[in-house]
Structures are given as C-alpha cells and as structure tokens.
Amino acid sequence: MNRIDESRAFIPVRIAIATISDTRTLANDSSGDALAARIAEAGHELADRAIVKDDADRIEALLRGWIAEPTVDVVITTGGTGVTGRDVTPEAFQRVLDKVIEGFGELFRMLSYAKIGTSTMQSRALGGVANGTYLFALPGSTGAVKDGWDDILRFQLDARHRPCNLVELMPRLKEHLSGRNMG
C-alpha cells in the first residue's frame, strides 16, 4: 500500500546494481536496465553497476567491496536466486550479511504468487543488512525486478513512506558497532 507523506522531504539513496549471470552483458541486461531506470525515475542515485558470473566467491567479493564503500547505501542484485546448481546468490549473501530481513523474501514471494502462482516457491529472493548497507537479491527476470522494485523497494527506500521505511533507519544500522572501530 502506497502511503507517501508529501509533507516530508525525499532523501535520495545511492544504489549499486549487480546482475548475476553467466550469459548477460551490459548490452543485453534487460533486468539491470529496468532496475537502473526505476532507480533514476524515483530520484535515487545509481552508485555503480556490474555484471558478475554465477560464482559465490566473485559475488561475495563484489558485495564486500560495495559494503565497504561509503558511497553505497543499498545493493540490489538480480539473478542467481533460483534452485539450480549455478544459482548461488543467496549463499554469497549469507557470507556477508549481519542480519537477514526475512520479511523481504516473504513479501516478495507473496506478491509474486498473485502473478506466477506456485512457481514463486522457486525464488530464494532475500534481503539483509551488512555493515550498515542494505542488500536485496531479486530473481533475474525483468518481471521479478519490476515487481521487487515497484511493489516493495520503491516504497521502503522512500523516506516519505509511512508508517515507516528503511531510509529512516539508515543512521542506526551501525549501532551494534558502537564502542568498536566503525571504519
């Protein structure tokens, strides 16, 4: 449900996109293109964009680089969330996440069920937080990317969304590090 409070200021966030695929290139990455267009249309900044092979070590390395980068607030990946042998995005996420946002995957599958029925159970979409950076893994189809952005992330990454949103929590994501080196 769209609950945008127009009396509040919009706060753009910096979002990095990774397409996880053995076959896609920037020339044919329709899912990444759809996501990049939606990010710009919403008023956010595209911090970076990459295409990575379906390899957990490579995915983990990219995620760790972006997590360590202060100019990246959010990472969204597309692809590699299925159940085949090459689908390893969730495993790479598990290596880096401090906390899993269980509700993201649950909500994604609930919304997807209305469109693709029981086939949604094959998606291992997930969200979480690592070192103060939000991470979301979406399936690689353009339709799934549109659903994930249009129905969930567009609202949760808008500081005007009520009753609450992920942007307003960003300053508090590193509270568990207080008293330790936050660099």
Over the stretch 14-58, which tens digit does the pLDDT of each residue have? 999 999 999 999 999 999 999 999 999 999 999 999 999 999 999
Q: Tell me the three-class secondary structure of 49-103, residue by residue.
A: EEEECCCHHHHHHHHHHHHHCCCCCEEEEECCCCCCCCCCHHHHHHHHCCEECHH
pLDDT at 1: 62
Q: Classify residue 5: in a domain, yes or no.
A: no
Q: Classify residue 182: in a domain, yes or no.
A: no
pLDDT reading at 179 higher than 70: no
Domain count, the chain: 1
Q: Classify residue 183: in a domain, yes or no.
A: no
pLDDT reading at 181 higher than 60: no
pLDDT reading at 183 higher than 60: no
CA distances from 97 to 72, 89, 91, 94 (A): 15, 12, 10, 5
pLDDT at 175: 84
Q: What digits encode the pLDDT tens for the residues 92-119?
A: 999 999 999 999 999 999 999 999 999 9
Q: Classify residue 178: in a domain, yes or no.
A: no
- In this prediction, residues 54-68 reach a mean pLDDT of 97
pLDDT at 176: 76
Q: Classify residue 37: in a domain, yes or no.
A: yes
Q: Classify residue 75: in a domain, yes or no.
A: yes
Q: By percentage, how much of the chain surpasses pLDDT 90?
A: 91
Q: Classify residue 57: in a domain, yes or no.
A: yes
Give the range of the structural domain holding residue 19, as residue numbers without chain letter: 14-168
Q: Classify residue 176: in a domain, yes or no.
A: no
The CATH code of the domain that includes 21 is 3.40.980.10
pLDDT at 180: 55
